[in-house]
Amino acid sequence: MAAYEINFDGIVGPTHHYGGLSYGNVASMRNKKSVSHPKQAALQGLAKMKFMADLGLRQAVLPPHERPHVPTLRRLGYRGNDAAIIEKVAKDDPWLLSAVSNASAMWAANAATVSPSADTADGRVHLTPANLVTQFHRSIEAETTTAILRGIFADEKHFIVHDPLPASSALADEGAANHTRLCKQYGDAGVELFTYGGGPTTFPARQAQRASEMIARMHGLSSGRARFVQQNPAAIDAGAFHNDVVAVGNRNVLFVHEKAWVEPIWNDLPDVKTIRVSDADVPLADAIASYLFNSQLVTLPSGEDALIAPIECRENSRVATFLARGDFKHVHFVDVRQSMRNGGGPACLRLRVVLTDAELAATHPGVIFTDALFASLQQWIEKHYRDELSPDDLADPKLLAEGRAALDELTGILRLGSVYDFQR
């Protein structure tokens, strides 16, 4: 059956800042406490979506989460009105305020793992929101992500949105950032490649093997459809906290750094064309600094492949030399620098969902990207977002009110209903 890939991009939220919260994510660690530009960040993300849509690709959006998340602070014992709570936590524990204010839901590749209907036993699209337990600031995304995905993929005839895996380090799950699907055409049954981390590493391995295995079982993937492969500890320690920093697959093409996995799994994928990059040509450090493999590898309407790479790839001489070799006929560069400075490239910002026509028709239409939605979102960002945010600004209770006003309007634009705590 004919099917398409739809990229659901996370809209960057109004509290985008550099908290330095992700140990093992070298960009996040390096840019800790630098001044961020939320409006620019959101506009950069939106421009990427528009660029993809203009290439003739299908695009959709996922809304930001409510931040700062006062319900989490209340759960942790803070009492009083919202403004008083923000003021108190800003004094007590700036780390906590940054964590509950983080706009990290923008990295939609971590929202969920998605198996298209062609792969699953019951012929439905299966989605499992990620529990993101290795980073506290990300673990609080799971509940809202689940509510949003259930709003968008509500038709149980076509979709099932599972509960996130139980919140345990034994089942640590980071979603599609460690999952790539290989197939002939999108509508054909494919092979889903699950990458898990393991030691010994200095930086945390964020995906547990058991988590990947459970998701494959929950999604009803037969044993031939799911493959599990271990991430190279050296890649984790070089800063590849998610496998999508060192590998990306699309249809029958796998683009990978030779040090991504502990074993050369590409030798065992017969119908797959592997573009393998050696450490001599692009050392891991350059791959991670440029986010070459965090490009989006997409199929254009013409049937040709294109690589949508971050502009940082153009600025790294080894990476630029590799790209000039011509493995990809079409290479486009996008500017998502604000997100990149927190370790999120073009591919981190999107969740890929393969849908048939019938499934697309059953998907909530309000989130599908059109020129009209582009125009509304642009206006909405211009109206609500601050130009600049420093970590100290998180203590400003006005930021909370501004964020709520923005999100309330956004749920109207996307016709999503009440998905946020403050709306209930």
C-alpha distances out from residue 224 to 93, 250, 260, Å: 49, 18, 22
User: Which two structure tokens, joined as six digits, stand for 241?
Assistant: 């906290």
How far is it, in rounded angstroms, from Cα 328 to Cα 296? 12
**350 DSSP assignment:** E
Q: In the complex with ligand SUG, which residue's Cβ is closer, 171 or 394?
A: 394
Q: In the complex with ligand SUG, which residue's Cβ is closer, 106 or 147?
A: 106
Ramachandran angles phi, psi of 120, nearest 5°: -100, 155
Q: In the complex with ligand SUG, which residue's Cβ is closer, 167 or 358?
A: 167
How far is it, in rounded angstroms, from Cα 265 to Cα 341? 31
Of the candidates 174, 192, 312, 359, the residue annotated as catalytic is 174
Instruction: Establish whether the linkage from the previous residue to 68 is cis, with ω within 30° of 0.
Output: yes
Q: In the complex with ligand SUG, which residue's Cβ is closer, 33 or 162?
A: 33
Of the candidates 242, 257, 258, 384, the residue annotated as catalytic is 242
* Nearest distance in Å: CB 207, ligand SUG: 11
Q: In the complex with ligand SUG, which residue's Cβ is closer, 109 or 226?
A: 109
Q: Which residues of 191-209 are buried (b: 16+ CB within 10 A; e: fewer)?
A: bbbbbbbeeebebbbbbbb
Residue 281 buriedness (CB in 10 A; 0-12 / 13-18 / 19+): middle
Q: In the complex with ligand SUG, which residue's Cβ is closer, 7 or 22?
A: 22
* Nearest distance in Å: CB 375, ligand SUG: 28
* Nearest distance in Å: CB 239, ligand SUG: 10
In 308-385, where does DSSP find H-type helix?
Answer: 312-315, 317-324, 337-340, 357-361, 371-384
Give the footprint of ligand SUG on this chain (CB under 6 A).
18-22, 25, 28, 102, 104, 107, 109-110, 135, 138, 177, 241-242, 244-245, 342-344, 348
* Nearest distance in Å: CB 233, ligand SUG: 17
* Nearest distance in Å: CB 138, ligand SUG: 5
Give the distance between the most distant pair of CA atoms in the chain: 61
348 in catalytic set: yes
C-alpha distances out from residue 380 to 83, 115, 264, 377, 412, Å: 25, 33, 47, 5, 11
* Nearest distance in Å: CB 132, ligand SUG: 8
Between CA 344 and CA 177, with CA 115 as vertex, the angle to 5 degrees is 20
Of the candidates 137, 192, 348, 359, the residue annotated as catalytic is 348
Active site residues: 174, 242, 348
